Amino acid sequence: MARSKRFALLASGTCLLLALGFPACDLSHKQSDAEPVRELNEIPIAQLRVMLKGFPGEWRADSDAVQRGKEPPPEKPVPPGAKLIALVPPTRLRLGNMPVRDAIAARRSTREFSDAAISPEELSYLLWATQGVTAVQRDEAGEIVQRFRAAPSAGALYPLETYLAIGRVQGVAAGIYRYLPNEHQLVLIREDAQVSGKVMAACYGNPATGSAPVVFIWSATPYRTEWKYTYLAHRMIAMEAGHVCENLSLAATSCGTGVCAMLSYHQPKMDELLGLDGKVEFTIYLACVGKPKGEEK
């Protein structure tokens, strides 16, 4: 295969291929820390394509859902004493009235952002539209048995966490935050006036990441999906990241906000910026968000 064709294949499937780095791909023969992990450029192209096709055999018997039964939680716990920030409740949001057809037609990648800050309502709307709770199911006793989110997730296992690198949001200090979908709140990871520059440094100096008022950064916790879907989990997680980011793009378009989805980041640097271990949880996708340059309000 020609070098250019090989490079194009890797580029077009990057989001999915990242999943090959997930731990415990073979749940019945879990990898030990002593076993070497090959980088993507060390794996033959034909082997990379296997993940796209999925496991051809019977995978259900090996799942922890069958063997152990205890489902992992769909959301990380909030550290004791952490600062919580309330968002505009979904019932009070008045944004996003553009027809879906128009939003799809108008969607473009925005790489140059104005100096305008994002409003709390805009941020709340975009978070709700990507990973927010849209409905709940209760049992006869009134207890919640299922929460439904804005983007689909295999088995409703929700392996993604949403982090925000906030540079310019009205009334919110610059820093790193995590979205809590069930509560529709933000939890402060740490304040950092230099966060935009640090994100840009972790993205090879890409100016869009430094000028965007907010950068959405999604991490994956693979075991949440591996628990049930074993060998199929990794392509499911990568697909889910695509679902969430497309929701962000269309929701942003519907309220006059620009988005640029990005996969060009240095994995260890981005994980370190978010405080992730890079094994159990790690960055999988990110998107710059802000008002397009020349369209300030």
Position 19 in a domain: yes
| Residue 295 resides in a domain | no
Mean pLDDT is lowest, of 46-50, 108-112, 234-238, for 46-50
Does any domain span residue 58?
Answer: yes
Rounded (10°) CA dihedral 183, 263, 12, 224:
-40
Tally of domains in the chain: 1
Hunting for tokens 């409703």 — which residue is that? 156
Mean pLDDT across the stretch 62-69? 83
The confidence score (pLDDT) of residue 1 equals 47
Chain mean pLDDT for the chain = 87
Q: What is the pLDDT of residues 229-263, one digit of tens each?
A: 988 899 999 999 999 999 999 999 999 999 999 98
CA gap 103, 95 in Å, rounded: 13
pLDDT at 13: 45
Q: List the single range of 67-76, 127-136, 219-228 with lowest mean pLDDT.
A: 67-76
Q: Count CA atoms closer than 13 A to 216's CA, side-chain side.
A: 32
DSSP 8-state class, residue 222: T
Range of the domain at 170: 3-290
pLDDT for the residue numbered 55: 76
- Answer whether residue 199 shows pLDDT above 50: yes
3-12 and 45-53 are packed helices; what angle lies between their axes, rounded to 10 degrees? 30
Contacts of 212 by beta carbon, 8 Å cutoff, 6+ apart: 113, 167, 196, 260, 288, 289, 290
Model pLDDT, residue 41: 82
Q: Is the predicted pLDDT of residue 18 greater than 50, yes or no?
A: no
Contact partners, residue 172, CB within 8 Å, separation at least 6: 85, 120, 123, 166, 186
Instruction: Give domain status of residue 202, yes or no.
Output: yes
Q: What would the pLDDT profile of 163-175 be if each residue is shown by its tens digit?
A: 999 999 999 999 9
Predicted TM-score of the model (pTM): 0.85
CATH number at residue 225: 3.40.109.10
Distance (Å, rounded) from C-alpha 208 to C-alpha 212?
6
Q: Would residue 296 count as lying in a domain?
A: no
